[in-house]
Amino acid sequence: MKKAASILAAILLLLLLASCSSPRKEEKLSARGIYFDTIIQIDAWGAKTSTLDECKRICERYEQLFSNKIETSEISRINASAGTAAEVSSETLELISLALHYCELSGGKFDITIAPLSDLWNFTDNEAHVVPDAAAIEEARSHVDYRKVLVDENASTVTLLDPGAKIDLGGIAKGYIADQLKVYLKSEGVEHALINLGGNVLTLGTALDGSPFRIGIQKPFDEQNAYIDIVEAEDCSVVSSGVYQRYFEKDGNLYHHILNPETGYPYEGSLLQATVISRSSADGDALSTCCFALGLEDGSALIERLEDVQAVFVTGDDRLHYVGYEDPEK
Residue ranges of domains in the chain: 28-323
Banded pLDDT at 22 (limits 50, 70, 90): low
Q: What angle do CA 304, 99, 37 make, to 5 degrees?
A: 110
pLDDT single digits (tens) 93-139: 999 999 999 999 999 999 999 999 999 998 876 667 889 999 999 99
To which CATH superfamily is domain 28-323 assigned? ApbE-like domains (3.10.520.10)
Chain center to CA of 219 = 19
- pLDDT on residue 246: 85
pLDDT for res 131: 92
The rounded radius of gyration (Å) of the Cα atoms in the chain is 22
Tell me which amino acid residue 208 is: L
The per-residue pLDDT for range 230-259, each reduced to its tens digit, is 999 999 999 999 988 888 888 888 899 999
pTM for the model stands at: 0.90
Q: What is the helix (H) or strand (E) element at residue 213, kind and residue range?
A: strand 213-218
- The mean of the pLDDT values for the chain is 90
pLDDT-derived band of residue 260, with 50, 70 and 90 as boundaries?
Answer: very high
State the pLDDT confidence band at 5, using cuts at 50, 70 and 90.
Answer: very low
* pLDDT computed for residue 145 by the predictor: 98
Query: What integer is the mean pLDDT of 166-172?
Result: 96
* Torsion angles phi and psi, residue 32, rounded to 5: -130, 150
Give pLDDT, residue 123.
Answer: 83
Q: At what angle do helices 90-105 and 281-305 cross, to 10 degrees?
A: 20
Model confidence band, residue 181 (pLDDT cutoffs 50, 70, 90): very high
In degrees and rounded to multiples of 5, residue 86 shows phi and psi of -115, 125
- DSSP states of 77-132 as a string? HHHTSTTS-EE--HHHHHHHHHHHHHHHHTTTSS-TT-HHHHTT--SS-GGG--PP
